[in-house]
Amino acid sequence: MKEDKLKRFETTSTEYLREEGVYGDVEASAMKHVIAAALAQRMERLGLTVAELASSLGTSRAAVNRVLDPLNTSLTLTTLARTAAKLGCRVKLEIVTPR
């Protein structure tokens, strides 16, 4: 019952966002929030500061802050992969086809 309501909500919400022409923007924003949180969490576990990560990447603190900014969706795959690698991680990207 609860799952049915959730599925209907997801379907209705997705349809509405597509009709309004903002689905892609909303999805990108949600993904960036998850990415930024995961990278920040990894930095915290490793005890790394923004300055230290920037130095190891050979870039500026401002560039790292853009990567960590959940509202900034202009992130290249190269930047994401380099940052993750410096944090001892790898990026897994998946394209999911609709059911």
Domain boundaries, the chain: 2-86
Asked whether residue 10 carries a pLDDT value surpassing 80, the answer given is no
Hey, CA dihedral for 46, 47, 52, 53, is it positive or negative? positive
How many Å apart are CA 53 and CA 38, to the nearest integer?
A: 15
May I ask the CATH class of domain 2-86?
mainly alpha
Instruction: Report the alpha-carbon distance of residue 88 to residue 90 in Å, rounded.
Output: 7
Torsion of CA 36, 42, 46, 50, to 10 degrees: -10
Higher pLDDT, 48 or 18: 48
Confidence check: pLDDT of 22 > 70:
no
Answer yes or no: is pLDDT of 46 > 80: yes
